[in-house]
Amino acid sequence: MKTYLNALGVVCALGQNKSSVAEALFAGERGGVRSTPGWMPARQVALAHAPHTLNALPAGTATWRDNRNNRLLLAAARDIEVDVRDAVSRFGASRIGVVIGSSTTGIEDATRAIAQRERDGEWPADYHYAHQELGAPAAVLADHFQLSGPAYGISTACTSSARAMLSARRLLRMGVCDAVICGGADTLCRLAIHGFHALEAVDSDTCRPFSRERGGINIGEAAALFLMTREPARVELAGGGASSDAWHLSSPDPQGHGALQAMERALASAGIAAHAIDYINLHGTATEHNDAMESIAVARLFGQVPCSSTKAITGHTLGAAGALEAAFCWLSLNDTAAARRLPPHVWDGLADAALPALRFTDASSRLPEGGRRYLMSNSFAFGGNNASLILADAA
């Protein structure tokens, strides 16, 4: 049974809607990644900011649900509002599901609340534990659209929203839902920034995926949402695969066995061979170990396929990364402005001779003309949690 990505809403460091995001993406703009004080004592780190001013949640929404993460989520939802309302009118509220991936939800609000309690001895009046609940984003969307189908969150670190898309696909295939809002949202928070810094994985400068000078990640924030149905649309979620190799709590299997397994399962799910893939959006975090294992796995399975990491222009958006980077594949398949553009690989051009050479895209790279095009998006997370998605032109 085929499933399609009928509509996309996206907000990230590249822009506030899919058209602005697409133009900045294909141009390789990195203006949203900037050195930012105030997040770590005595140090500035490069972070990728979504728009700072986000609309408050609609009137009538419980005040304890009003945090930056949910505001960012609803900003992305506005791009698919008409499509969701139409689906509700045709299928009914009980037949629409919501599956949202996130790794931190509103934990930044909780961090501020805990600091105030330590300082003043009492919680802020507007603090509620639900700010940080992992199921809160899905509940907010279900309430916003007045849906009564399945609504839940998935948190598998940096594969969260890719896993949410696989879960949404399963709900459709099982006949539980007729449409599912799926994707992810994560916002900047001190917990993640300090945690990655403790692992010596944060770059003070803009990150350089796969460079011999790479020095770690830039953390970013984003929300990306799809409306997925069984109704034919221009882009199909043609395949998906996941694995959990559990190599180490915070380091990937150095030979990329778990990554290979996820990619191979995605190919099998799509019913295609590796040579059919026209482009890969790499996980490409610019950390030493992730880039090494991913280059080994990709080179072994695909050889010289066009590929890029987009984290140099969006930051690593953690639980939102899987859906955000699938969105970039969706934008390539829907691109008409300059026909079939691919996201460029933005870096310093200093290849790491210790890694297998990959075929990185640039601003002139395009999808091939004619035939069906297949694009893969990789997400690899702590604990050896891996996911690969394959998007394609509708058959």
Assess contact for 164 and 109: CB atoms under 8 A.
no
- Residues of 262-279 as b/e, b for ≥16 C-beta within 10 angstroms? bbbbbbebbebeeebbbb
- In 10 A of CB 205, how many CB atoms? 14
Which entry of 128, 131, 158, 189 is annotated as an active-site residue?
Answer: 158
Does the CA dihedral 166-172-177-181 come out positive or negative? positive
- Catalytic (active site) residue 52: no
Residue 25 three-state SS: helix
Assess contact for 212 and 351: CB atoms under 8 A.
yes
- Catalytic (active site) residue 257: no
Q: What are phi and psi of 331, to 5 degrees?
A: -65, -35
Give the integer Cα–Cα distance in Å for 54 and 73: 10
Nearby residues of 260 by Cβ (< 8 Å), 6 or more positions away? 297, 300, 301
Residue 133: CA atoms inside 13 Å, Cβ hemisphere, count?
14
Which entry of 128, 131, 144, 316 is annotated as an active-site residue?
Answer: 316
Which entry of 131, 144, 283, 345 is annotated as an active-site residue?
Answer: 283
- Catalytic (active site) residue 275: no
Give the integer Cα–Cα distance in Å for 162 and 322: 4
Structure tokens at 17: 């809607």
What is the three-state SS of 207-232? CCCCECCCCCECEECEEEEEEEECCC
What residues act catalytically? 158, 283, 316
